[in-house]
Amino acid sequence: MKRLVLFFFIFSAVLFSFGANAQTAAPADYFAGKWSVVAEGTPNGDAKMIVSLERKGGQLSGVILDAATNTEISKIDKIEETEKSITVYFVGGGYEVFLLLEKKDDDHVAGSLMNMFDAKGERVKEAK
């Protein structure tokens, strides 16, 4: 009887650990939402944009918006995503460009535009 109780205890502990691991392994959707991003020192001056991302069917997609007018500049062609960074590919100024953004804290990112221009961004908080 003691072995049967011990068996069920170990079995329950193993199931609990798998369940706890599954809950912590699911990544938070950090990059979804709007980000106000500035790429500093481009040939046309600092490039200010809004990167608007949403998750559809498990994949991130979105658009690049003009920061001043909130109008669409470009659709995002492709997004490469890791746990702590994303690389967004889009057409800007007639050229195919990419923007790397890495998580700094809950509301800030840093990275580069085309690995040439420093970029920094802040989460756009919607007014409630």
Beta partners for 97? 90
Q: Is residue 48 part of a domain?
A: yes
User: What is the number of domains present in the chain?
Assistant: 1
Whether the pLDDT of residue 6 is over 80: the answer is no
Domain that holds residue 59: 33-123
Contact 94, 73 (CB under 8 A): no
- Domain assignment present for residue 1? The answer is no
Query: Is 11 inside any structural domain?
Result: no
The tokens for 70 are: 């909130």
Radius of gyration of the chain (CA): 21
pLDDT at residue 82, rounded to an integer: 93
Look at residue 126 in the predicted model and tell me its pLDDT.
80
pLDDT band at residue 101 under the 50/70/90 scheme = very high
The pLDDT, as a whole number, for residue 1 is 57
pLDDT digits (tens, 9 = 90+) for 42-96: 998 999 999 999 999 889 999 999 999 999 999 999 999 998 999 999 998 889 9
Mean pLDDT, range 8-31, rounded to an integer: 53
Question: For all residues of the chain together, what is the average pLDDT?
Answer: 84
> Taking the CB of residue 72, how many other CB atoms lie within 10 A of it?
12
CATH number at residue 86: 2.40.128.120
